[in-house]
Chain A
Amino acid sequence: MKISLEQFDKAFENRIRLQIMSVLVANDSYDFNSLKDLLNVTDGNLASHLKALEKEQYITVNKSFIGRKPNTQYIASKLGREAFKKHLEALENLIKQQKH
């Protein structure tokens, strides 16, 4: 069985990164703490995966303050949305291939 691995996005190999992207694609924006609650991950873990996605330019970061509390919003970029869509298509194709 041949699996076309080149279709898979390296950035989404990690499950948490893929999960972050799912949330950001479904929403206009999402803040750090709510993401942390939703994904059930630690601060450091989430921060490092967000950094990685930012480096790929899949997400943009919007830092601001609400009163004195920092409020960091993450937004999926156009590039990120397309990459996410492609990754899902690749997963679907893989299922189709295995059914034959």
Chain B
Amino acid sequence: MKEDDIYSELSSIRNLMERSTKFISLSGLSGIMAGIYALIGAFIGYKLVYTENSGLLFRDYYVNDPTIWWPLFLVATVVLVLSLATGVWLTVRQARKKGENFWNPVSRRLLINLAFPLITGGLYIIILISRGYFGMIASSCLLFYGLALVAGSHYTFSDVKWLGFCEIILGLLAALIPGYGLVFWIIGFGLLHILYGSIMHFKYNQ
């Protein structure tokens, strides 16, 4: 056996071990898109809640006002659905480009690990809403999303873990400083996603 052969053998082993345990077709672009959707959503939400009157900003509604609730809920749902759809679409496309099967044991494990914290969080937030604890929604979203990312990061790029940590810290801060849910939402779901997506895109896609 020649030295080059051994190196190629070792690198093929390494590559297989990594590919069989980590799902590496996550698209950075989908992170950027999710961030942009979140910013647009936050802007619409802001416009719904505040109106400008001769240079002064007024809050027309408070989140516990049911008339503003449904439009805001609708905006948030549209952002969520659009982000998920774009994420799945771009990830499937990326997997195809790499000649990989999108549905494999690793992507299954990744999804299951993401699903537990996300579903728990979703149910918890529905309970919060039904009991009228509107002030805690933004921080709960960030917290459970961050926990889901940390749980899932085991089965994909380790960068996802750092995004998760940042979301958790933001979630805790949002709980400490009530009334600024939208600001934390913009940072956590908008800016952080764009930053993370750009890093991923330039690190792995080129």
Interface set of A (CB-CB < 8 Å, partner B): 3, 15, 18-19, 22-23, 25-27, 30-31, 34, 37-39, 88, 91, 94-95, 98
Q: Is the CB of A26 within 8 A of B6?
A: no
Q: Is the CB of A18 within 8 A of B13?
A: yes
**Given B3, B18, B19, B101, which contacts A95 in the complex, CB threshold below 8 Å?**
B3
The residues in B between 78 and 94 inclusive whose CB is less than 8 angstroms from any CB of A are none
Most B CB atoms within 10 A — which of A15, A26, A39, A88?
A26
Q: Is the CB of B105 within 8 A of A27?
A: yes
Q: What is the bound-complex CA distance between A87 and B20, given in angstroms? A: 20
28 A-B interface contacts by CB (under 8 A):
A3-B1, A18-B9, A18-B13, A22-B13, A22-B16, A22-B17, A22-B20, A26-B16, A26-B17, A26-B18, A26-B20, A26-B21, A27-B21, A27-B105, A31-B105, A34-B101, A37-B100, A37-B104, A38-B16, A38-B104, A91-B6, A91-B9, A91-B10, A94-B1, A94-B6, A95-B6, A95-B7, A98-B3
A98 (CB) vs chain B CBs: closest residue: B3
Q: Closest CB of chain B to A75's CB: distance in Å?
A: 13
Q: What is the bound-complex CA distance between A32 and B10, given in angstroms? A: 23
Q: What is the bound-complex CA distance between A92 and B40, given in angstroms? A: 54
**Given A3, A23, A95, which contacts B20 in the complex, CB threshold below 8 Å?**
A23
Interface set of B (CB-CB < 8 Å, partner A): 1, 3, 6-7, 9-10, 12-13, 16-21, 100-101, 104-105
Q: Which A residues are in CB contact (< 8 Å) with B21?
A: 26-27
B2 (CB) vs chain A CBs: closest residue: A98
Q: A19-B12, A23-B17, A94-B1 are in contact. List 5 more A-B contacts (CB 8 A).
A: A18-B9, A31-B105, A34-B101, A37-B104, A39-B16
Q: Is the CB of A34 within 8 A of B105?
A: yes
